[in-house]
Structure 1
Amino acid sequence: MQTIAAEHPGACIQLWCQDEARFGQKGRTTRVWYERGVRPPGIVDQRYKSLYLFAACRPGTDDVFALALPRADAGTMEVFLEHFARQLAPGVHAVLILDQAGWHDERALHVPATITLLPLPSASPQLNPVERVWLYLRERYLSHRVLDHYGAVLEAVCRAWNKLVDEKGRLTTLTAYPYLIASEIP
């Protein structure tokens, strides 16, 4: 972090975490209350229309940014980074922690000057608080449902995201990883 601060003198450095998740027509099942010894009926769908929700959050705060995009690749990652950079306050430089997905390779991306990518170690999703956000969205708002078409998937995901954002303090508790909060630079 000291190197980043030295490269961007006078900038307020903020730590953000980024990830993307696939959401589709086939809803996931979760545990539900039901009569003991009887399996509850469930709906299953074999269709495959889906979208990706790209999101970034500031650990330990309710500050988030998200875009729903049709696929996950270097092109859509660049779109996300461009829009994310635009929403940053003037004078802010974001250090964006992310996994090592193929489309996160800094050499293949045009990364805006106000963002520095910081990859997590390989195979360590438990270090990224956005993973907890996906789990919460799926279990709380997007489970046990079948969606008819791409537009319905988009509407359901956006509605779920907006409900999550409206829950004051929920993102703060989901993303407050002690190792990230302690490293915030004022």
Structure 2
Amino acid sequence: MGQPIAVRTDLTAVEVRRLARRAKDSDQVRRLLAIAAVLDGASRTEAAKVGGMDRQTLRDWVIRFNEQGPDGLINVPAPGAPAKLNEEHRAFLAQIVDEGPIPAIHGVVRWRACDLIMRLHEEFGISVSDDTVYRALKDLGFSHVSARPRAYKQDPDAIEAYKKNFHSSVEDIRSSLAPDTPVEVWFQDEMRVGQKNKLTYRWARKGSRPRAAHDQRTQSTYLFGAVCPELGTGAALVLPFCNTEAMQLHLDEISTKVSHGAHAIIILDQAGWHGAKQLSVPHNISLLPLPPRSPELNSQENIWQFMRQNWLSNRVFKSYDDIVDHCCYAWNTLIAQPWKIMSIGLRDWAYIGRSL
């Protein structure tokens, strides 16, 4: 028979039980109580029963207790297999994903797991699974998202200049106003809503592809909308046409929603009806066109996306009146959530404090 192992005596049974009362790990508590029983003079068999273990297991924990103290009685997770991708591999993976593929060279327009696995093998001679690549990308802060469309021949310099000079443009407009006139920044755009509706992402079982009804009829209407993200307010009209006359009606509607005594700067794209000579811009509104081909600067575009994803897509509209009713419902539901307008619409470069 093996010789019994003495328990360290720098802690008394009372102190060990006190530690057990404060411990949050249930397994550590059992082991501390078993060792306290040993310190009280109980036999190893009796002490093992107190901790709900056999004598050999108690012996192993006594050794850990003698070497590491009470903290040694906490379970330590197994280290597991070493990671297949080290820091060099992960840095390379992050770089090529950030840069994206070159279709003429790599033969694909987006990276798939199999493409990334091949690049890692070509560069480092290692073989990994799809799951390893997916986990690494997630740890590196990547997620699988749909790309935002970018207009053809877009001028990035013009976009940056617009944001940089936005406040000076506001000051130019302010100089023509009465002193101390509050300024509000609004974003305006139009959205076509029709029976040939859009389908959006939805949750579904892995391996399946959910189906949704898709109408082929062509009745449609236009939702003219504008929001002031700073105040969480908006103004909209559902109109049958998208032309100068409709734009005039919308500007008149926006002017009624501008705060009393304030002046609204409407940011909008350069559609023909937005700058038509026949427009009579209300006295409390100024129009500030965006650079060509830069819809991402217009936060009303994101409002449309939110409305489609939550209330308008994946539907079959019975008639034109049904389309109008759903547009009105979607807009009124949005307006009832001003915090949502603020969250979606605020842009750092366009934010104007109420004190200005």
TM interval, shorter chain, is over 0.9
Q: Which moved more, 1:9-18 or 1:92-101?
A: 9-18
**Cα RMSD (Å) of the superposition?**
1.7
SS at match of 1:111: coil
Q: With the length of structure 2 as denominator, give the TM-score of the two structures.
A: 0.50
**1:8 paired to 2:186:** no
| Residue 287 of structure 2, aligned match among 114, 117, 136 | 117
Higher relative contact order (CA 8 A, sep 6+): 1
Gaps in structure 2 of 5+ consecutive residues: 1-169
> How far off its partner does 1:64 sit?
1.0
The match for 1:175 is 345
Decide whether the 8 Å contact of 2:233 with 2:338 is kept in 1: no
- 1:135, 1:112 → 2: CA distance? 28
Distance 1:149 1:56 in 2: 26
Q: Cα deviation per residue 1:3-22 (whole Å; 9 max; x = unaligned)?
A: 21111113322211111111
Task: Find out whether 1:20 has 2:175 as its counterpart.
Answer: no
1:113 to partner: Cα distance: 1.8
Matched ranges for 1:17-166 at <5 A = 17-166=187-336
1:108, distance to aligned residue in structure 2 (A): 3.3
- If each structure's strand is expressed as a fraction of its own residues, which one has the higher value? 1
Which of the pair is proportionally richer in helix? 2
1:94-114 CA distance string (max 9 Å, x none): 111100111101523111122
Measured in 2, the distance between the counterparts of 1:4 and 1:167 equals 30
Q: CA deviation at 1:45?
A: 0.9
The offset of 1:160, in angstroms, is: 1.2
How many Å separate the matches in 1 of 2:353 and 2:269?
Answer: 18
| 3-state DSSP of counterpart to 1:107 | coil
Cα distance in 2 between the residues matched to 1:62 and 1:90:
16
Distance, in Å, in 2 between the alignment partners of 1:114 and 1:41 is: 48
1:72-109 deviations in Å (ceiling 9; x for gaps):
10010001111221332332211111001111015231
Bigger mean CA deviation after superposition, 128-137 or 77-86: 77-86
Counterparts of 2:276 and 2:171, CA distance in 1: 20
Decide whether aligned partners of structure 1 residues 182 and 146 sit closer, same or farther in structure 2, where only a CA change above 3 A counts.
same
Letter in 1 for 2:174: A
Q: CA shift at 1:26, angstroms?
A: 2.4
TM (norm. structure 1) is 0.92
Q: Please report how far the alpha carbon of residue 38 of structure 1 lies from its aligned counterpart in structure 2 after TM superposition.
A: 2.5
Q: Secondary structure at the match of 2:175?
A: helix
Counterpart Cα distance in 2 of 1:119 and 1:143: 29
Structure 1: 5+ residue stretches without partners: none
Report the more deviating stretch, 117-126 or 5-14: 5-14
The alignment covers a number of residue pairs equal to: 186
Q: Distance in 1 between matches of 2:193 and 2:347?
A: 25
